[in-house]
Chains A and B, each alone.
Chain A
Amino acid sequence: MVAQAEDSAIRKYLLARGNSAVADRGFHWLMVLSALSIFGIVVLIASEMLVRSQLAWSKFGFNFFFKAFIDPYSKLPMYWDPVNGHFSALPFLYGTLVSSFLALLLAVPLAIGVAVFLTEMCPGALRAPLAFITELLAAIPSVIYGLWAVFILVPLLRERLNPFFIKTLGWTGFFGDDNPTGLGFVAAGIILAIMILPIISSLTREVMTAVPISQREAVLALGATRWEMIRMGVLRNARIGIVGAIILGLGRALGETMAVTMVIGNSPEIHRSLLANGSSMASVIANEFAEASGDLHLSALMEIGLALFAVTIVVNAFARLLVWAVTRGAPRQVH
Chain B
Amino acid sequence: MQSEHRLRSRIRALSDGAATGLAVLSTLLVVAPLVAIFVYLIYRGASSISLAFFTDVPKPVGEPGGGMANAILGSAILLGVGSLIGVPIGISGGIFLAEFGRGTKLANAIRFTADVLNGVPSIVMGIAVYSLIVVPQGHFSAFSGGVALGIMMIPTVCRTTEEMLLMVPNAVREAALALGVPNWRSVLAITVKTASPGIITGCMLAFARVAGETAPLIFTAFGNVGWSARLDEPISALPLQIYVYALSPYDEWHRLAWAGSLVLIVLIVLAVSLVRYVTSRGVLKGAS
- Hey, which bits of chain A sit against chain B, CB under 8 A? 10, 14, 17, 20, 23-24, 26-28, 30-39, 41-42, 44-45, 48-49, 51-52, 109-114, 116-118, 120-121, 128, 130, 132-148, 150-152, 194, 197, 199, 201-203, 206, 225-228, 230-231, 248, 251-252, 254-258, 262, 282, 285-286, 289-290, 301-302, 305, 308-309, 312-313, 315-317, 320
Contact = CB atoms under 8 A, between A and B. Distances in A.
A226 B20 contact: yes
Which of B128, B268, B271 has the most chain A CB atoms inside 10 A of its CB? B128
For the complex, would chain B's binding face be called helix, strand, loop or mixed by DSSP majority?
A: helix
Contacts of A286: 123, 215, 218
Interface string B146-160: 000001001100100
A139 B222 contact: no
Interface residues of B, number: 97
Given A305-B127, A317-B116, A148 B41 contact: yes
26 contacts: A31-B93, A34-B88, A35-B93, A35-B101, A35-B110, A35-B158, A38-B154, A41-B154, A110-B30, A113-B27, A121-B20, A128-B280, A136-B272, A137-B30, A139-B208, A141-B211, A142-B212, A150-B247, A228-B16, A285-B126, A289-B130, A290-B219, A305-B123, A309-B120, A312-B119, A320-B112
A144 B124 contact: no
B117 A41 contact: yes
Interface stretch (B76-84, B181-189, B225-233): B181-189
B51 interface: no
Contacts of A203: 288
Interface stretch (B66-74, B193-201, B254-262): B254-262
Contacts of B171: none
B117 A42 contact: yes
A212 to B, nearest CB: 18
Given A24-B183, A35-B92, A140-B265, A151 B254 contact: yes
A225 B214 contact: no
Interface in B124-152: 124-128, 130-132, 151
Interface of B: 12-13, 15-16, 18-20, 22-27, 29-31, 33-34, 36-37, 40-41, 88-90, 92-93, 95-97, 99-101, 106-107, 109-110, 112-128, 130-132, 151, 154-155, 158, 179-180, 182-185, 187, 208-209, 211-215, 218-219, 222, 239, 242-243, 246-247, 254, 257-258, 261, 264-265, 268-269, 271-272, 276, 280, 285, 288
